[in-house]
Structure 1
């Protein structure tokens, strides 16, 4: 195969040319207008690589493809690239990752590491979840309590110095329960993202999930009252005279911002103005994710909402309108979770001019909310799909109680399930309830006339987003084990529409997508996972699969290029499985694990003692497919 050998010296050959122009990339037979489209041509005769794009983002993605072509099976760059002609454009304009750092904090360097992987796989939106019940993670000038109190956890029953420990954070502030980004830290993060064509979208959860901010502003009030400062109450988020009773699913009864207080919006305006100042000369703030969900019906009984004569739907609309007004004054667009943009009957609220995006998340098949995406798109909202059944990275990767993750929406979500996600027809993704009971599209849609509302305005679905919540991840390694390699499958679906998505016959489609998954799994095993190894990314190693019959066991792994190892007894000595079979010595119990291609990491051990080895056929872990 002919190739180009790249040079670092100035020359007329062995060079990379970046040209501004209209790349000849066609989608459905029409030249695309996407600013992220590019063409990549490798000419061995001239020893030149040429990348053509209309926009710097397209050139950047062309370079990412070039770097991928230069990598060998160990993840290293060879400096040679084979003859190639690539015409490429994204499927969606919004290819996102939502990352929450309130429950467990991640350092500036860890955030940048995630962004680096995102950029490699052409993801371009980072929804940065910086405030929630359990922590506030961004320094806001003028409101020091937000990070002094809301950004730390320790043993202080009064919560005047910190929040109480939770989620295993311990009694002091030395763990991932504490931490925040200074203004300079944050500016560095924003600059790093912008250099990689990633737009950061801030999110401070309101009006629900706001306990860290509420407690911090109460601490501010107490401090300033002692000083006799008349502005002590200026940024309060709750009314002490209201005795409202509620309980959230996380067992909080004091985490709801009152949407009818003027001080709520004074607080939000101050926060957004300071974030704007941080970003102004780095990468100006374009969008704020105002959340909007969980406006509890209980607030209709608050004195402030009674004065405004608001009913349940009126409270939701009032909150959206007030946040929209602040954002409009600051020339910021808005996005929000879908439940904050619907009334109590799940009808879309009147679309305000600067609310551009509705992020749709809860489609748990047991709850029957899959039509929310199409309700919002048909009403004129731009929709980003973040479906909990397929795109939540804090769900377990196997249906096993030893796996890390929650399972309120689905029992498990592995990389193959994410790779098989079909965003063009959300009802085609119907599979199982969260307890594992099988479902069919026909059965799901037959529950009622509105269960499977048709999509009338498909152009309003503009992207997909993976969701990373941090309740289960106290370390960076734990988070990386949930992020990767599943995020690569999400990136693939966000950039590329698979041919099998357009196949209407279920049997033919399944055959095609199984073949496509096999190709993708081989690419992961032989190329992308070794590359993640070279970056020091602690991706989740696949569990070994083992099927036993007497003393004889057949073994395999989910991705190729990973060794299965076997041990007998207490696991003190491990041996590579040379072929696909193992014959256990008499009265010995085999244990299995997977070793990474770099031979530096190992999967969780799968003991055959957890099953009846004497049975005629028993299965441990994975084998072929689930």
Structure 2
């Protein structure tokens, strides 16, 4: 219907983007003949206002008549100042973070071939491009279509106050390159011990594989791993010439392994199949890093074991959807880096992403976004999804997709944890079940209409969630709400059973329940009295969820919020509730912004007796922008989190790194007030988990950029042993030793590991802007990961594959306009830096 309307629109040159999302085939049409120029005029820090100009250009062959057309978009920062709008133009804030509509009244027509412009001011500073308008579309005569967006910001007044890092600041931040011979790193994450021999392995044309009887039932799996990673013929002849031997060594800890490369054979020893997998992944890296060695692989012995039993990664596919194929690629990377848990955020306010049998509305409505008059057909736009859902705005995993993911993960030794949030972050489910309700009410089937209803239509409670919604909390006073969750949980559990995979953990999410929810719910008041206790109500809800999950032999997990006192502080509450649920739920502790007094919450839970996982937002959230660059993706509510923040933290004592304390302005008086984990409770600290929330992850390229090499750095902290320098009490001693390790680590990533990724995976990982400075007439350049190739130009042009390669300080002319850019081994270029003169020289 919409496609036909566009064809009738009579546009001369449209850009047609046919997008086939999983289980949805839809056409996204971007009308390049209608252009929205969003121009930032001034960053007014004194008044906390962003002053802008809206310009709309109509190059189409249609007129937009006054009182008959609207401009719609999403925007994450800045709220419109109503009085800044000209007469005849009004706006509506719809919901969330933020969905805006502008209505053009009298005297505001836009005929073909014309343009209009007007001033719009916003409360708050729109400090990065992704925080401003996105997914812009026009509704004309009730027909919605996406239009071209240009964000113009470079010449805005006050731009210097944004503190965008200069090329000099980047240069001063980036590590120095360490010569390959001095690295002492041969694979990642770094193993406990590598001992090199004096010889090299003789050329081996094929492997004859011998597997310990203990691992015989895993023979097919081991063969699959070896043949998928290595271009070597493998046989399993019963003879005496075995040269690839897999042994069981019972005294090794879980997941530990030894790997020996001898002159004529390779031996892997482990007590379990997990360790065997890890050894094969280590062998895979060693073979790649020595592939150009004409004398063969070096003889060596590796002894290795994980620091933490739980090493996880969470992917949010609700805000932006990513298909099975992308998830399988993610699992490949997790296995390579010896991570063993994959938590999948399947639902949130902005999308329901898994098929549930007999509840088709969850995906028919909850998995689609776009222009809608009543959300009976789809959810409202969010995070720039536009008129009819962007490439990653729509979509869901079918049952078969999810089971395929479970089977593939199991093959790689990775346990999948589904997360379906209840009762918070539930707007997609709420709106889907409302549509179901209205559809059945229209047929007169009242019982069916109410069967899974999640909404109290007479609820007058007032709240705003952390993401700005006032309707994203399930009514926990309805029995239908628990019938719904029981149904969803049972169907997801059935997918595990059908795949013959054990469900170990199930997350209820349940973070950021806003204060004020349920207080004026008519249903709750009728059931529990006018002055019912909300905290007791929520406690009862948690007990019911725990029972539903526990009865099926599964451990309930959730964010730490589930164990906090209900208060006006919502997710920022620090007091732990008295009810501990027999210490059965596992809290994942996420809300740990430096300086806000919650850094030690995980130690408090562990000391109380809870098994717990660190998900620290100021270290392990990949969606936190690494600096204030205007072109960066990601958020910054938990500060700016760079690669060093992830690598330098010690999970078991986050204040032990004095350099981090100094960076985040934490003094000893502040630290002395915090709680440490007691030695006898160390076993309660299960491990650490990284997260990629996808509010700003608008496409695959942004995904890859935020995922990699963040996940490499995280894996080092999850698997690698505690660095010795962390124990030093002397600031300068700790700093010097730490920086040397950091330089070695980043040099290995840039020089060896990222080329390995380029050759083995289709991942367009982050190529950070180079740092650089001019000292008099000499050019100095650095990159975040030394070893990445830097190309530069001196004529003001954008560096490309034919530009000069930087290999050391270069003499240039004073008036040269110099740009620099990092490149990967395939020739792909990253973002560009303009090099500035260092005023200190």
Corresponding residue of 1:536: 762
Corresponding residue of 2:788: 562
Corresponding residue of 2:815: 587
How far 1:437 moved relative to its partner? 7.4
Per the alignment, do residues 366 and 502 of structure 1 end up closer, same or farther by CA in structure 2, a change over 3 Å counting?
Answer: closer
Per the alignment, do residues 78 and 329 of structure 1 end up closer, same or farther by CA in structure 2, a change over 3 Å counting?
Answer: farther
Contact 1:39 1:87 in 2 (8 A): yes
More divergent stretch after superposition (202-211 vs 256-265)? 256-265
Per the alignment, do residues 295 and 377 of structure 1 end up closer, same or farther by CA in structure 2, a change over 3 Å counting?
Answer: same
Contact 1:430 1:439 in 2 (8 A): no
Corresponding residue of 2:740: 515
Corresponding residue of 1:375: 604
User: CA separation in 2, counterparts of 1:155 and 1:252?
Assistant: 18
More divergent stretch after superposition (373-382 vs 505-514)? 505-514
Q: Which aligned pairs between 1:332-347 and structure 2 lie closer than 5 A?
A: 332-344=554-566, 346-347=575-576
Contact 2:583 2:611 in 1 (8 A): no
Corresponding residue of 2:704: 480
User: CA separation in 2, counterparts of 1:40 and 1:356?
Assistant: 37
Contact 2:796 2:818 in 1 (8 A): no
Does residue 439 (structure 1) correspond to residue 656 (structure 2)? The answer is no
Name structure 2 gaps, 5 residues minimum: 1-198, 207-232, 567-573
Corresponding residue of 2:76: none
Corresponding residue of 1:161: 377
Contact 1:363 1:388 in 2 (8 A): yes
Secondary structure in 2 matching 1:280: helix
Corresponding residue of 1:553: 779
For residues 46-90 of structure 1, the C-alpha deviation after alignment (integer angstroms, 9 at most, x for no partner) is x2211121211111111111111111278x999953212122111
For residues 425-459 of structure 1, the C-alpha deviation after alignment (integer angstroms, 9 at most, x for no partner) is 023358779xx97413414325xx4x345545122
How far 1:305 moved relative to its partner? 3.7
User: CA separation in 1, counterparts of 2:606 and 2:838?
Assistant: 56
Corresponding residue of 1:308: 528
For residues 593-619 of structure 1, the C-alpha deviation after alignment (integer angstroms, 9 at most, x for no partner) is 1122x14211210013xx5x38344xx
Secondary structure in 1 matching 2:580: coil
Match of 1:505 among 720, 727, 730: 730
Corresponding residue of 1:364: 593
User: CA separation in 2, counterparts of 1:437 and 1:494?
Assistant: 22
Per the alignment, do residues 334 and 499 of structure 1 end up closer, same or farther by CA in structure 2, a change over 3 Å counting?
Answer: same
Corresponding residue of 2:31: none
Higher RCO structure, 1 or 2 (CA under 8 Å, sep 6+): 2
Corresponding residue of 1:621: none
User: CA separation in 2, counterparts of 1:430 and 1:359?
Assistant: 25
User: CA separation in 2, counterparts of 1:219 and 1:102?
Assistant: 19
How far 1:293 moved relative to its partner? 2.4
Give the structure-1-normalised TM-score.
0.90
Corresponding residue of 1:139: 355
Does residue 258 (structure 1) correspond to residue 470 (structure 2)? The answer is no
Q: Which aligned pairs between 1:311-322 and structure 2 lie closer than 5 A?
A: 311-322=533-544
Secondary structure in 2 matching 1:466: strand
Secondary structure in 2 matching 1:376: helix
Give the structure-2-normalised TM-score.
0.68
Q: Which aligned pairs between 1:78-227 and structure 2 lie closer than 5 A?
A: 81-227=297-443
More divergent stretch after superposition (86-95 vs 144-153)? 86-95
Bigger Rg over Cα: 2
User: CA separation in 2, counterparts of 1:4 and 1:501?
Assistant: 41
The 4+ residue runs of structure 1 with deviation greater than 6 A are 76-79, 430-433
Corresponding residue of 1:622: none
Contact 2:779 2:809 in 1 (8 A): yes
Corresponding residue of 1:3: 201
User: CA separation in 2, counterparts of 1:70 and 1:217?
Assistant: 53
User: CA separation in 2, counterparts of 1:159 and 1:79?
Assistant: 66
Per the alignment, do residues 138 and 83 of structure 1 end up closer, same or farther by CA in structure 2, a change over 3 Å counting?
Answer: same
Corresponding residue of 2:459: 242
Per the alignment, do residues 260 and 346 of structure 1 end up closer, same or farther by CA in structure 2, a change over 3 Å counting?
Answer: farther
Corresponding residue of 1:525: 750
Per the alignment, do residues 62 and 454 of structure 1 end up closer, same or farther by CA in structure 2, a change over 3 Å counting?
Answer: closer
More divergent stretch after superposition (326-335 vs 552-561)? 552-561
Per the alignment, do residues 315 and 548 of structure 1 end up closer, same or farther by CA in structure 2, a change over 3 Å counting?
Answer: farther
Secondary structure in 2 matching 1:301: coil
Secondary structure in 1 matching 2:449: coil
Corresponding residue of 2:136: none
Q: Which aligned pairs between 1:386-465 and structure 2 lie closer than 5 A?
A: 386-411=615-640, 413-428=641-656, 438-445=664-671, 449=673, 451-452=674-675, 454-455=677-678, 457-465=681-689
Per the alignment, do residues 356 and 51 of structure 1 end up closer, same or farther by CA in structure 2, a change over 3 Å counting?
Answer: farther
User: CA separation in 1, counterparts of 2:687 and 2:277?
Assistant: 20
Does residue 284 (structure 1) correspond to residue 502 (structure 2)? The answer is yes
User: CA separation in 2, counterparts of 1:77 and 1:486?
Assistant: 29
More divergent stretch after superposition (536-545 vs 269-278)? 536-545
Per the alignment, do residues 462 and 4 of structure 1 end up closer, same or farther by CA in structure 2, a change over 3 Å counting?
Answer: farther
User: CA separation in 1, counterparts of 2:684 and 2:522?
Assistant: 39
Per the alignment, do residues 277 and 438 of structure 1 end up closer, same or farther by CA in structure 2, a change over 3 Å counting?
Answer: closer
Q: Which aligned pairs between 1:25-44 and structure 2 lie closer than 5 A?
A: 34-44=253-263
User: CA separation in 2, counterparts of 1:415 and 1:15?
Assistant: 40
Per the alignment, do residues 131 and 583 of structure 1 end up closer, same or farther by CA in structure 2, a change over 3 Å counting?
Answer: same
How far 1:260 moved relative to its partner? 2.7
Secondary structure in 2 matching 1:440: coil
Per the alignment, do residues 232 and 512 of structure 1 end up closer, same or farther by CA in structure 2, a change over 3 Å counting?
Answer: same
Corresponding residue of 2:22: none
How far 1:9 moved relative to its partner? 4.4
Contact 1:337 1:361 in 2 (8 A): yes
Corresponding residue of 2:832: 605
User: CA separation in 2, counterparts of 1:77 and 1:191?
Assistant: 37
More divergent stretch after superposition (586-595 vs 120-129)? 586-595
In the comparison of the two structures, how many residue pairs are matched?
A: 595
Per the alignment, do residues 563 and 354 of structure 1 end up closer, same or farther by CA in structure 2, a change over 3 Å counting?
Answer: same
Higher strand share: 2
Secondary structure in 2 matching 1:471: coil
User: CA separation in 1, counterparts of 2:417 and 2:293?
Assistant: 33
User: CA separation in 2, counterparts of 1:125 and 1:614?
Assistant: 46
User: CA separation in 2, counterparts of 1:538 and 1:192?
Assistant: 23
For residues 228-260 of structure 1, the C-alpha deviation after alignment (integer angstroms, 9 at most, x for no partner) is 322211111121111111112321111111223
For residues 75-133 of structure 1, the C-alpha deviation after alignment (integer angstroms, 9 at most, x for no partner) is x9999532121221111111000100101101111111111000000001011001000
